[in-house]
Amino acid sequence: MKYDAAVVGAGPAGSIAAQSLSTRGHSTVIIDPCDTKKVCAGVLTARYAGRYPVDENYIQRELKGIKLSFKGICGEISYRKAVEYSIDRDLFDSMNLAQALENGSELLKERVLSITEEGTGIKIQTNKNKYLADHVIIAAGVCELSQLFGGTKQYAYCTQQVISQEPGDHFEMELFPGGYSWKVPKKENVLSGTSSIKCYPDIPGEKGLIPVNGPVKRTYSRKMLLAGDAAGFVSPFDGEGIYYATRSGEIAAQVLSGAISGNNDLSEYEKCWKKEFDFLTPGKISRLLSSDIVLEAFVREIRDNEIFNKVVEDILTHESEKNKTKYILSLIKKLI
């Protein structure tokens, strides 16, 4: 059998893309071994909650704000209107995948080894079999496969573990040059993690990679699209990833459906997401994360300056991406 579309990866980007394609009547297969856990803080941000329905089954705790710290200085942002959620990430992914399957997608619990163009279609070789598809969406996160096909090659090393600690109601982030640590309150304990651009932090726990420095140079080819982490869609400013994965999966499905119908080509994908997503450029964000002076001033202003505090809150919780980069850069310039 030859599928209209094969989606590599069963995370938010892959499941949403497959669900959308199947709903549009396209034969769709999701290929993922489903044997690994995602290293992720597991937070649905205000931007996500403002756009998508949230299911109480995977909610662990409602978050009322964020606490940022640097060298013992702590600034707290309590949300005035927005709300965020700490979730069970495994259950969140399982429910999204189940929805895709209910809408007609097929699931193959196999590991993709290679993807090659073959005639007018694409051959997908897994550890068990060979499959053919007209198009492919790579949504498998930071992995060797996505890197071979133009995916992000710049990433941070992350380690996380569950710790026995009374959960609060704020997401906590401790900044340090080149990375950060986080604590996310869950239902009965706390998920603690650390991210570094140098190497895996020397702490026990699950290990994984997250993209840094924003989107890759090109997120499409003649027959393939990159979505979610595979495309580098993670905000280096606030660590937002699930929203970008979900939305990029939707956009990828919309554009791919148009391509199958002959209404557009896949280059439309890049035009669409660039209209919505607004990321800091790699040089600017790396300077921000490597400067003790900027980091200390940033946290101190959040703590001491009410106006500054509210501006940062608006950036973190605003639904729209419009002017996000402009606001962030203007704040950094004031601190320097």
- The answer as to whether 176 is a domain residue is no
The answer to whether the Cα torsion of 137, 142, 146, 149 is positive or negative is positive
**Taking Cα atoms as reference points, which of 111, 110, 113, 116 lies closest to residue 133?**
116
* pLDDT at residue 314 in the model: 82
Report the CATH number that the domain containing residue 13 is assigned in CATH: 3.50.50.60
- The answer as to whether 318 is a domain residue is no
- The answer as to whether 282 is a domain residue is no
* pLDDT at residue 16 in the model: 98
Give me the amino acid identity at 16.
I
| Count of structural domains, the chain | 1
- The answer as to whether 45 is a domain residue is yes
Global pTM reads 0.91
More confident residue, 175 or 103: 103
More confident residue, 80 or 139: 139
Q: Exposure of 242 by Cβ count < 10 A (0-12 exposed, 13-18 middle, 19+ buried)?
A: buried
- The answer as to whether 225 is a domain residue is yes
pLDDT tens by residue, 240-277: 899 999 999 999 999 999 999 999 999 999 999 999 88
Which runs of consecutive H residues, i.e. helices, occur in the chain?
12-23, 46-51, 89-102, 144-148, 242-260, 267-276, 282-290, 292-304, 306-317, 324-335
pLDDT tens by residue, 272-310: 999 988 775 545 555 555 678 888 888 998 999 998 888
Chain CA centroid to CA 57, Å: 21
* pLDDT at residue 43 in the model: 95
- The answer as to whether 302 is a domain residue is no
Distance separating alpha carbons of residues 77 and 335, to the nearest angstrom: 18
**Taking Cα atoms as reference points, which of 41, 317, 306 lies closest to residue 171?**
41
- The answer as to whether 183 is a domain residue is no
* pLDDT at residue 212 in the model: 81
Is pLDDT above 70 for 162? yes
Q: What is the mean pLDDT of residues 45-49?
A: 91
Residue ranges of E strands in 10-166: 28-31, 43-44, 59-63, 65-70, 73-78, 84-87, 106-108, 112-118, 121-126, 130-138, 155-163
CB 4 within 8 A of CB 26: yes
Q: What is the mean pLDDT of residues 153-175?
A: 92
More confident residue, 38 or 53: 53
pLDDT tens by residue, 112-148: 999 998 778 899 999 999 999 999 999 999 988 888 8
- The answer as to whether 173 is a domain residue is no
* pLDDT band at 320; cut points 50, 70, 90: very low
Range of the domain at 32: 2-64+82-153+213-276
